[in-house]
Amino acid sequence: MSQPTIISTEKLSKSYGKNQSLFKALQNIDLNIKSGESIAIVGKSGSGKSTLMHLLALMDKPTSGSVHIDNKDISELSKHEQDLLRNRTFGFVFQQFFLNGNATVLENVILPLKIAGVSSKERKNRGIEVLKAVDLGEKIYNKANNLSGGEKQRVVIARALVNNPRIIFADEPTGNLDSTTGKRIEKILFDNNKNNGITLIIVTHDSDLALMCDRQIYIKDGNLRGEQI
């Protein structure tokens, strides 16, 4: 059973700053990720994991090299086409994508659908459906501020799932959670991977979580150091 490639990179490189302060955060990364795979990106703090994730997720531009989605070089797409692709294809579980604490759980979750121009009735139906799927059916109209850390992270996951993405990018999805809550988050992510074929790309420090993935990609000082932990 060979799945098609969903996302790949060629000599992907990213530098920050210029002249004397030029810093090569990522160098010549070649990756090939198949649809439905689960991939862990591991490596020490500062090794370039988040930089790689941001480039893969089209949230930042490479200094050189390319990212391909469905074998198409995304640099050939206009900014608007990239925004559409991101909105339709990806779900994000990133710490910096905060919830709006004063909005309800449902309002937070349906934000990507609003951006995608989905009708208000359909937004609500789909929002309620994914919130039930992450066991938050009882908290739909609560203010996000009033949830526990684990509940907030499940809201973030519901928001990532609401547009039926093909790829979920998760940067330290269990980082700030106790182990029981972390396990619950892992289960939601991997259930979606196994049952719905969603490709998972996860940055993690947690070697147990990394080992749950089909493959581990090890980054050291901005370089790909093979597939090991």
Binding site for ligand ADP (CB under 6 A): 16-17, 23, 25, 43, 45-51
Nearer to ligand ADP, 27 or 193 (CB): 27
> Which tokens go with 208?
């147990």
Q: Which residue is nearest to Mg ion (CB)?
A: 50
CB of 37 to Mg ion, least distance (A): 21
Gap between the Cα atoms of 208 and 193, Å rounded: 17
Q: Supply the minimum distance, in Å, between the C-beta of residue 174 and ligand ADP.
A: 15
* Smallest separation, CB 48 to Mg ion (Å): 8
> Min. distance of Cβ 50 from ligand ADP in angstroms?
3
Please choose which of Mg ion, ligand ADP, none residue 23 contacts, taking the beta carbon within 5 to 8 angstroms, the exact cut-off set by kind: ligand ADP
Output phi, psi for 204, to 5 deg: -150, 150
Residues 14 and 51: beta-carbon distance below 8 Å: yes
From the list ligand ADP, Mg ion, none, partner contacted by residue 16 (C-beta under 5 to 8 A by kind)? ligand ADP
Angle between helices 120-133 and 149-161 (to 10 degrees): 130
CB atoms within 10 A of CB 4: 9
What amino acid occupies position 199?
T
Relative to beta strand 223-224, strand 215-220 is: antiparallel
Contact positions with Mg ion (CB under 5 A) in 6-65: 50
Query: For residues 43 and 91, which CB has a smaller minimum distance to ligand ADP in the complex?
Result: 43
Q: Closer CB to ligand ADP, residue 94 or residue 158?
A: 94
Distance of alpha carbon 168 from alpha carbon 133, whole angstroms: 16
Residue 168 CB, shortest distance to ligand ADP, in Å, is 17
Strand order through the sheet with 5-16: 23-34, 5-16, 64-69, 72-73
Residue ranges that bind Mg ion, judged by CB under 5 A: 50
